[in-house]
Structure 1
Amino acid sequence: MMKAFRKRTFAALAVSAVLCSLPTYAADLENESYSIGASFGQYLSGQLEGQEALGQTIDLNALMDGVEDALKGETKLDPEAMLDHLNARAERLNTELKARQQAEMDAAKAANDAYLAENAQKAGVVVTESGLQYQVLAQGEGEKPAAEDVVTVHFKGWTIDGSQFENTYTKGEPAQMSLIHTIPGWEEGVQLMSPGAKYRFVMPANLSYDIQDPKAAMAPHSALIFEIELIAFSEPKAGNFGHGASMGGGAAMDDMLQGH
């Protein structure tokens, strides 16, 4: 008798424990389900915001109907028709995106061309046959480096909007590189200098990185401005060739500027 009573008591307690946990589980299920829906909505909202910025609006009621029908497995359009509509929208988005990127690239090129034309007229600016522009800030003395030489330099670099992307002075030590591994504007310009000289260069895009990728870290067709102080140079030795001007952390300047 006692054993049967104990079994019934334990069973009742077990059922009671399950019943007590049901409200908590129900609340958790509701919150979890809501969180899934909200997360999906936030992701979708971000996607649609980008599309609307490209002139492609959305019918929100139809979108919600589509989500609900898909969850029920009762879509009103067959998969092939839906794919056709999605592809048509994607094509319009890509066309508009390319048009806007091209407009931005054209504007950037115009701004850089205007800067180069204005700078070329400033007193003391010399323009070489290649289009390199330079101004002597301080004369040096002695021989001038060859393209194969390793140079030791301090330098600062800017884009034409005044954004500085490198300054070796703030790092406390100069950079060392082989001229043959630098951009054309550096290779040509530093060979004009003697140790102790300091020049200001404006390098057109074709003498710098000639960036034409609208997704790059730097604007397309960017002219670059450098102030370079030549400290010394020497003939290359084994293991002493350098890899162009360092942008810090061991990364090459061209990788940093192009967003790699």
Structure 2
Amino acid sequence: MKQHRLAAAVALVGLVLAGCDSQTSEVELKSPAQKASYGIGLNMGRSLSEEGMDDLDSKAVAQGIEDALAKKEPRIKDEDMIEAFSFLQNRAEERMTALNKEAAEAGKKFLEENGKREGVVTTASGLQYEVIKKTDGAQPKESDVVTVHYEGKLTDGSVFDSSVARGSPIDLPVGGVIPGWVEGLQLMHVGEKYKLYIPSELAYGEQSPSPAIPANSVLVFDLELIGIKDQAAEPTEE
């Protein structure tokens, strides 16, 4: 995270906070501008919290933006602010490094224990799977497009995505998904249901696509292979 990014984020939060009456914690959220302002502050606050900035002083942020709007002299020197930004940046990076390491170790421990359970198969890549429902249908290739139903969870059971909950299966290219799915789908037969336990290195690693999926997370998927689409049979546009 760069210093200018942190500075811009703090300034934006301050801009939102500055619109509030500093004498009260209550704000009106009636007009589109007020609602949008609250939404900006909420989203930015979440972003800062995810980056380890969960102890910023909102009153100090608001005071800074109020002083700027009133064209008052800054209460601290620029070099002091730069030093403070550097401190927060370094501390946030240290926190994230520690959290990532902790998550990686927890994932490794989970897979070690899970691999001992009866019915769980561990492949050479480290992917683990259970066959929940077995059939003799066709198996897809990496070049195929398949129709699947799935539910994705973290190891604590919290759901982060689910086509089942949406009530609609999806079509996807076997070769266009995370490595754990690419391998897992090619093990399956049409009509089968698997439970996949995907190590972080076969999923998203440290580059999480969503706040719902912490970095270095082991992902657990209930996966049903509904069918393999016959691309050759699909009508072409004239």
TM-score range (shorter-chain normalised) is: 0.5 to 0.7
Task: Say which one has the larger Rg.
Answer: 1
Q: Select which of 204, 209, 213 maps to 1:218.
A: 213
Q: Show structure 1 runs of 5+ residues with no match.
A: 1-34, 241-260
Say whether residues 1:155 and 2:157 are aligned partners. Answer: no
Residues 186/38 of structure 1: CA separation in 2 closer, same or farther (3 Å cut): same
Query: CA shift at 1:130, angstroms?
Result: 0.7
Choose from 181, 189, 198 the match for 1:186.
181
Q: Does 1:53 align with 2:45?
A: no
Segments of 4+ moved more than 6 angstroms? 40-43, 71-77
TM-score, normalised by the number of residues in structure 2: 0.65
Match of residue 224, structure 2, among 216, 226, 229:
229
2: CA distance, partners of 1:37 / 1:171: 38
* Structure 2 residues not aligned, in runs of 5+: 1-17, 26-40, 46-51
What amino acid does structure 2 have at the position aligned with 1:173?
S
What SS does structure 1 have at the residue aligned with 2:140? coil
Count of aligned positions: 188
* Contact preservation (8 Å) 1:203, 1:225: yes
- Provide the secondary structure at the position in 1 that maps to 2:107: helix
Which residue of structure 1 lines up, in the alignment, with residue 94 of structure 2?
99
One-letter amino acid matched to 2:121: V
Contact 2:139 2:187 in 1 (8 A): yes
Q: How does 1:15-34 map to 2 (within 5 A)?
A: none
Change in Cα spacing, 1:36 to 1:217, as seen in structure 2 (3 Å) is: closer
- How far 1:213 moved relative to its partner? 5.7
Q: Aligned partners of 1:127, 1:233: CA distance in 2, in Å?
A: 25
Aligned-residue CA RMSD (Å): 3.7
| Conserved 8 A contact 2:150-2:223 | yes
Find the partner of 2:118 among 115, 123, 128: 123
Distance in 2, Cα, partners of 1:37 & 1:97: 28
Q: Structure 1 residues 101, 75: CA separation in 2 closer, same or farther (over 3 Å shift)? A: closer
Where do residues 188-203 of structure 1 align in structure 2 (5 Å cutoff)? Answer: 188-203=183-198
